[in-house]
Each structure stands twice: as structure tokens, then as C-alpha cells.
Amino acid sequence: NAGVTQTPKFRILKIGQSMTLQCAQDMNHNYMYWYRQDPGMGLKLIYYSVGAGITDKGEVPNGYNVSRSTTEDFPLRLELAAPSQTSVYFCASSGGRTGANVLTFGAGSRLTVL
Amino acid sequence: DAKTTQPPSMDCAEGRAANLPCNHSTISGNEYVYWYRQIHSQGPQYIIHGLKNNETNEMASLIITEDRKSSTLILPHATLRDTAVYYCIDPKLNTGNQFYFGTGTSLTVIP
């Protein structure tokens, strides 16, 4: 199993451009999450999904959109990139079943907006 | 939001036990406490979780107080590779298993 795979690893965007960060998991997990982490800070939850076709906002959703058309994929769309979106983005997944629910994280995507 | 409180930083001598505390006073009766760590800029790594009883695995031990309002992560013999930021997580199950990470504790293991 590859676990959680994120692409691209690095990207530089110009202000106003758009892009999609890809996230895929091969563990048949129901729950998927997007976090961002600014330098020296903790992780902030952007969006999450409890299953295909279901998404919901986290702490910092503004400027982002997500979709969940399949169990495996959870892309994060940035529209009209701004310098404030310069950050490291982490995708995670978990089984979502009752009881303990352990997160598996991807390696991260480092985005710079200039 | 689920709120946890952790000291911002701690030091530990190599080979000694590192004891990292966490307060999770808003935890509900059926919610687990989870611990993760993040080394440099890597993705966070799961360490251990617990509900009521103390837990131990190959990485660490978790001590949970009887009232479940706080817990302590113990790294029994800290090594330099344990230098990382450690996060204590109290998810809110009734809001769809959202996991909120605070700023964690930055542990530095000193040679």
C-alpha cells in the first residue's frame, strides 16, 4: 500500500492563478482531510469529507474548494491564489469507523504564492 | 472546537524519559485521546491513543487520569531522533470526527 499520496510536492504560483492539489489514498478509508501549516504553526483544518459525495468546512475554508467523487481521491482547489495561501498542505485519511480513528498523513505539498 | 492545552516547549536529556503533558478538559466520555508527532516538515505521525486505561506500544506509553481531563505521553528512553513537535488531539466525534491540531509541544532531546 502506498498510503496517502500527495502531488505535487512543490509548486510556485503567481497571485491570481488557480491550481489543484491532488490527494489519493489506497486504504479504503472513509474519512479524508486537508490541513495547512504555516511556518512555525500548528495544522489548521481546511476541509474534510466523511465519504464520497460528502464534504464539510473546517477551521479555515475560505479561498479553497474540495470535491469527493470517489472514496480514493480528495482534491483541494485553490482559486485566485493569494500570498496568504503560501503554506504546506497536508492531506490525511482515516477509517472513520466507530471506535479509534487513526489519521494517516501524506508527505505534504509546499505551495508558494508570489 | 476540541481544545487541548500543551506546554509550548520542553527539553529532555538523551536516554532519559520524556514526559509530555496535555490537558483536554472538554473531552467527552466516548472520545479517544490521540498523540501524534511531526519531525521537521514531514507529515504528522501517529504515536498512540487511549480511552480510559493506560496504554503502551513500541513507541510510547500513555497515562490518562481517572477523570480523563489530562494525559501524559511518556517516551521511556528519549533519543535524538525523538526531537519533534508532539500534538495531543481530542477529536469531536459528534461533529464528524474532526481532528483539530493545536500548536503542540516542541520537544528537544539534548545529547
Q: What value does the mean pLDDT take over residues B88-110?
A: 81
pLDDT of residue B1: 53
**Cβ-contact A114, A83 below 8 angstroms:** yes
Order across the sheet with B33-38: list the strands: B9-13, B105-110, B84-89, B33-38, B45-50
Q: Using CA atoms, how far apart are residues A105 and A43, in angstroms rounded to an integer?
A: 12
Evaluate if residue B102 carries a pLDDT over 90.
Answer: no
Our CA-based measurement puts residue B66 at a distance from the nearest CA of chain A, in whole angstroms, of 19
Backbone angles phi, psi at A50, to 5 degrees: -100, 0
A66-88 pLDDT, tens per residue? 999 999 999 999 989 999 999 99
Query: Which percentage of chain B shows pLDDT scores above 90?
Result: 65
Subunit contact A103:B44, Cβ cutoff 8 A: yes
Strand partners, B45: B37
Specify the DSSP element, H or E, that contains B36. strand B33-38
> A48 to chain B: which residues are within 8 Å by CB?
96-98
pLDDT of residue A40: 84
Residue of A nearest to B91 (CA): A101
Bridge-based pairing state of the strands A109-113 and A10-13: parallel
Evaluate if residue B95 carries a pLDDT over 90.
Answer: no
Order across the sheet with A19-25: list the strands: A4-7, A19-25, A76-78, A64-66
Secondary structure E strands in chain A: 4-7, 10-13, 19-25, 31-37, 43-51, 54-57, 64-66, 76-78, 87-94, 104-105, 109-113
pLDDT band at residue B96 using 50, 70 and 90 as cut-offs: low
B24-72 pLDDT, tens per residue? 887 777 788 899 999 988 999 999 999 888 999 999 999 999 988 899 9
A16-71 pLDDT, tens per residue? 999 999 999 999 999 999 999 998 888 999 999 989 999 999 989 999 999 999 99
> B41 to chain A: which residues are within 8 Å by CB?
88, 108, 110
Residue among B17, B25, B22, B26 at smallest CA distance from B7: B22
Q: Average pLDDT, whole number, for chain B? A: 89
pLDDT band at residue A96 using 50, 70 and 90 as cut-offs: low
pLDDT of residue B49: 92
Evaluate if residue B90 carries a pLDDT over 80.
Answer: no
Our CA-based measurement puts residue A40 at a distance from the nearest CA of chain B, in whole angstroms, of 9
pLDDT of residue A90: 98
pLDDT band at residue B92 using 50, 70 and 90 as cut-offs: low
Which of the pair, A37 or A98, is modelled with greater confidence? A37
Comparing CB atoms, the residue among A42, A102, A108 nearest residue B104 is A42
∠ CA A98-A103-A106, nearest 5°, is 150
